[in-house]
A and B are shown apart, each in its own frame.
Chain A
Amino acid sequence: MKFPAFEYARPTSLDAALGLLKVHGADAVLLAGGQSLMPLLAFRLAAPGLLVDLKDVPGLGAIGIDAEGVRLGAFVRWCEIDRNARLAAAHPLLVEAIGHVAHYQIRNRGTVGGSLAYADPAAEMPGIAVTCDGEIIVMGGAGERRVAAADFFLGALTTCLEPGEIITGLRLPAWPKDRRWAFLEFARRRGDFALAGTALYYDLDSEGRAVDAHIGVIGAADRPMRLAEAERAINGSAVDADSIAAAAEAASLEVDPMEDFHAPVAYRRALVQTLVARALTRAAG
């Protein structure tokens, strides 16, 4: 399984990278960590004429934390999220979820931008982006645009990125200190893509009722999605056995799992129900 032939460029500025994309069009593919792209090349499922390595493009590797929230540069690697001491407080759900990404060696290479661009329906990073009202920052020939994560993922391995555009980062809104949250996924083995997973959070009002519930799932549709009905079942209620059961059931009906040989649709629905119930229980605990 040897890679097909391609040219390789390592521009040293974003403009230069954008310029290469403009010249080569769809024939050029961006390379960040390469942990999703290289297997595709190995199986010859992709045959780009040019790989544009973003490694030397300055400014893509930063992790920013401020009152507005968290900003992850597109070139931030999973291991850097692990190591960043401030992130655990600034966005515990992010850190917990990213802890489930792949294996040690992959975590040393794989990047935020790469995962967003690859758009695997079971991947954690897109799931967190969608669940947490993330905004994906995209640079193109016409300048920067920001796309709500909810609008970014169009289907399995499909995003709204236009030819010639580069993801430069992801913004996640600020995380209140007392927020309740949980992340749970079910994979056959550690590091595998999950059969399904859920990331969720809510805040409590002064009466102890849940407000602003965000319940997201991965591996349960052709893209990561939030579950409006499940959120409705929690919002305005105490998070107790009844509301948890109602939310979990709503979740199982709301998802739209894909059938594959790993698991039938009915199983994935039931799994979502179990995971949402357990995650809400954990968050409430």
Chain B
Amino acid sequence: MKPGNLLIGAPMERVEDPRFLRGAARFVADVNLEGQAHAVIARSSIAHGHIRAIETGDALAIPGVRAVITAHDLGPEVPVIPLRLQPLAALEPFRQPMLAHGKVRFVGEPLAVIVADSPQIAEDALERIGVEIEPLPAIVDRARAEAGETVLFEDHGSNVAIRWTAMRGDAERAFANADYVRRETFRIQRHAALFMEPRGLVAQWDATARKLTLWGAAKVVFANRRILAASMGLTEQQIEMIEVDVGGGFGSRGEFYPEDFLIPFAARLLNRPVKWIEDRREHLMTANHARETECEVEIAATTDGRILGLRGRSWTDNGAYIRTNGSVAPRNVAQFMSGPYDIENIALSTIQLTTNKTPAGTYRGPGRFEGDFVRERLIDLMAKDLGVDRVEIRRRNLVRETQMPYPLATITPYESATELDGGDYRELLDRCLEDFGWAEKVKLDGQLVDGRYHGIAIGCFIEGGGAGPSENARMALETDGSISVYVGSASVGQGIETIMAQIAGDALGAPFDRIRVRHGSTGHVADGGGSYHSRSTVMGGSAIVLAAEKLKDKLRHVAAGALGCEAGEVSLDSDAARGPSDKSVALSELSKTPMTAEATFHCTKMTYAYGSLAAHVAVDAKTGQVEVIDVVSIKDVGRIINPATLHGQAVGAIVQGLGGALLEHLVYDDEGQLLTGTLADYMMPGADCFPNIRATVVELKPSPHNPLGAKGGGEGEIIPVGGVIANAVAAALADFGVEPLELPLSPPRIWALIGGS
């Protein structure tokens, strides 16, 4: 097997596609076990209050209802959802119990599990659960949260969970001496990942073998098994987690939610398989929300537009509990607000607040979408104030290649340092300008054409990827000559069966159709890191490369014995091993029993893909409607495994970003009721919303941190969209002095900024 580079870089059609296209995929809702019962969750309809009573008798009286489980049934200690990321003691008071007891803290919080013979009967029973809650004032905004007259956690005594600080240089001095300073307050609205397949689980308890099997695992399957084992008093070996087809993740799916404990718990309690499929209403009010942040930030610069410093405070509305994702988004807002720019002096802090809303977690580009909105808006405001061209001011401030690796601000109290791993940021800015046709389009800026004002903007971004510390892969040369590849990465719909096969094929010099990739489930490898932080290709792909080297070593050693030569003298191709005298032995001869190799790739350094994104909008000043005429992006990921799947991720990320910039908003009323609890009210982009998106991905500067040279690339283009679209709207409406500081850019908001009243 010669090392090859035939598959990597080729736009291979996906091996996953035929089953999806035929309706033959197997999602968790398609899993059915003999004798299964169905669970639904009774949830709080009150945002904040003391639970006085939960009456279950009427529900239990319905024929076909098998159990109603409340917190009392979970034992003396109700388990809590632990912190997967940033396991800080300071965050522990805010962890969510698997079922509410004592208090409820958001609408949708689980109160009880109903198990019945059919989902219909279970929902009938739901209407018969009597819940008595003594309401408390709902904390639904920053002001009330900070005032602290009512607190969610009395033992803690404050709605402030934690404060993160990102520091670099000496911001105080830089601001004191700066020629130019501008300060603004920005707001990013609460929205969410909203993958299309609702969450779900099927759990089976084998009382004889004392073994639990769980279908519907996703994203971080091994981490979730550790959590589940601990909360159920089982060993990890007693639990098998099976990943079936997964309908989208985007950060939110696959984190450990209460149901991930409650459904297996119910299955063990009843000694009967239990199935739970989330409905869309409960998805909207219980799966992680994201993004809600307010930022008071100032920028300091020289009069010619050299940025000297960023300083300020942010507040993230984290909702009622801090779940597995800890503080990822709030910390990222602070540490990554400088983005791809060389900013010497930084003092940014983020306060993570608890409120009576659905808990927030990570969503594609967590904290980065928010921070980029703030920074890119400030840069355009500054360019306007200083009379410096917006493109030139960016070029002047981008981190230069010669500065790499470039350390970002140090964040406390956890995971303090990281550095940009390389890249030619200016090159991609220039290419984006050219792809977009900036020189021509800039003539339209602020112009009224056919009743609409046109505007353009460009922004630059970085995307963190490749989170460590490790990933595992195992490879087996089967007796029929096929190759099985097992990897700890998980599928959330991104096509890893295909790209992992491309990586494995080149690493082994084997043809694509002889490789079969298995992923996600706990049976495949000893441990797995999973898929988040754009890490699958970087970490899982690199582990495959290492496993392939080991497998080839093994083959050479075995072949050397058969050929009577040294292992170092053996060369491999896809069918045979050859010795120095051109003697050869077929691989099928060598693999009378499957030959396996397992490897772990370790790396704690992040990759940083980077790029630029430009947009052209037209605004109807009478209605406030923003039409997106054109979006162009370019990004460098170091090494492209499959240009077609990567392009798909880029376009999809842009459209999600446009949803966040223009449409999507989880709105609450003063009582903490979610008003946008249906897909009719929570507006996701449709097929006709954004017809012109052009995304390019290049491999310019490989990452030094992994054997593929790859940088994580699943999120990047969502990150700059809010800032760029807002800047384009400002450019379009320059005559009106419109400067949007708040997302989403909804028609009523734009209309109000223009001066409608």
Contact = CB atoms under 8 A, between A and B. Distances in A.
Interface string B688-727: 1100000000000000000000000000000000000000
B686 A189 contact: yes
Q: Which of B675, B678, B751, B752 has the most CB of A within 10 A?
A: B751
A2 B623 contact: no
B119 A188 contact: no
Interface stretch (A138-146, A209-217, A235-243, A263-271): A263-271
B756 to A, nearest CB: 5
A261 B120 contact: no
B747 interface: yes
A3 B748 CA distance: 36
Contacts of B281: 1, 43
B124 interface: yes
A175 interface: no
B752 A191 contact: no
Given A43-B281, A267-B748, A192 B127 contact: no
B753 to A, nearest CB: 12
B748 A4 contact: no
A44 B123 contact: yes
B756 A270 contact: yes
Contact of B748 (A1, A5, A263): A263
B280 interface: yes
Interface in A36-56: 39, 43-44
Contacts of B624: 267
Contacts, number: 61
B752 A267 contact: yes
A226 B123 CA distance: 43
A3 B623 contact: no
Contacts of A193: 680
A188 B683 contact: yes
Interface string B740-757: 000000111001100011
B172 interface: no
B675 A192 contact: no
B667 A189 contact: no
Contacts of A4: 123-124, 127
B51 interface: no
Nearest to A263: B748
Given A186-B623, A261-B676, A274-B622, A44 B127 contact: yes
Contacts of A43: 281, 678
B386 interface: no
Interface string B368-406: 000000000000000000000000000000000000000
Interface in A258-285: 261-264, 266-267, 270-271, 274
A179 interface: no
A245 to B, nearest CB: 13
A189 B756 contact: no
A4 B746 CA distance: 37
A271 B623 contact: yes
B663 interface: yes
A116 to B, nearest CB: 20
Contact of B663 (A2, A5, A39, A188): A188
A190 interface: yes
B748 A192 contact: no
Nearest to A191: B686
A192 B676 contact: no
Contacts of B17: none
Report the interface size class on chain B: 20 to 34
Contacts of A263: 747-748
B756 A5 contact: no
Interface string B120-143: 100110010000000000000000
Interface in A186-242: 186, 188-193, 195
Nearest to A4: B124
B63 to A, nearest CB: 12
B625 interface: yes
B623 A190 contact: no
Interface in A1-50: 1-5, 39, 43-44
Nearest to A3: B120
B675 A261 contact: yes
A39 B625 CA distance: 29
B279 interface: yes
A254 B260 CA distance: 54
Given A2-B119, A2-B120, A267-B748, A189 B623 contact: no
A270 B752 CA distance: 11
A100 B212 CA distance: 52
A267 B746 CA distance: 11
A100 to B, nearest CB: 13
A192 B625 CA distance: 15
Nearest to A186: B623
B744 to A, nearest CB: 10
Contact of A270 (B124, B675, B680, B751): B751
Given A186-B625, A189-B683, A266-B756, A1 B279 contact: yes
A192 B683 contact: yes
A4 B62 CA distance: 14
B623 A274 contact: yes
Given A1-B279, A271-B623, A189 B748 contact: no
Interface in B256-307: 279-281
Given A44-B127, A261-B675, A267-B751, A189 B663 contact: yes
A255 to B, nearest CB: 15
A235 B240 CA distance: 76
Contacts of A195: 747
A189 B744 CA distance: 15
A186 B747 CA distance: 10
B80 to A, nearest CB: 29
Interface string A47-82: 000000000000000000000000000000000000
Q: Which of A189, A192, A195 has the most CB of B within 10 A?
A: A189
Contact of B123 (A2, A188, A266): A2
A261 B667 contact: yes
A217 to B, nearest CB: 15
Contacts of A190: 686, 688
Nearest to B282: A1
Interface string B651-671: 000000000000100010100
Contacts of B119: 2
Contacts of B675: 261
A39 B678 CA distance: 10
Interface string A169-194: 00000000000000000101111110
Contacts of B689: 189
B197 to A, nearest CB: 15
Ranked nearest first, the 7 interchain pairs of A and B with the lowest CB-CB distance are A267-B748, A274-B622, A1-B279, A2-B120, A261-B667, A263-B748, A2-B123
18 contacts: A1-B280, A2-B123, A4-B123, A5-B124, A39-B678, A186-B623, A186-B747, A189-B686, A190-B688, A191-B686, A192-B683, A193-B680, A195-B747, A261-B667, A261-B669, A262-B748, A266-B757, A267-B751
Given A262-B681, A266-B757, 16 more contacts: A2-B119, A2-B120, A5-B120, A188-B683, A189-B683, A189-B685, A189-B689, A190-B686, A192-B680, A195-B747, A263-B748, A264-B748, A267-B751, A267-B756, A270-B622, A270-B751
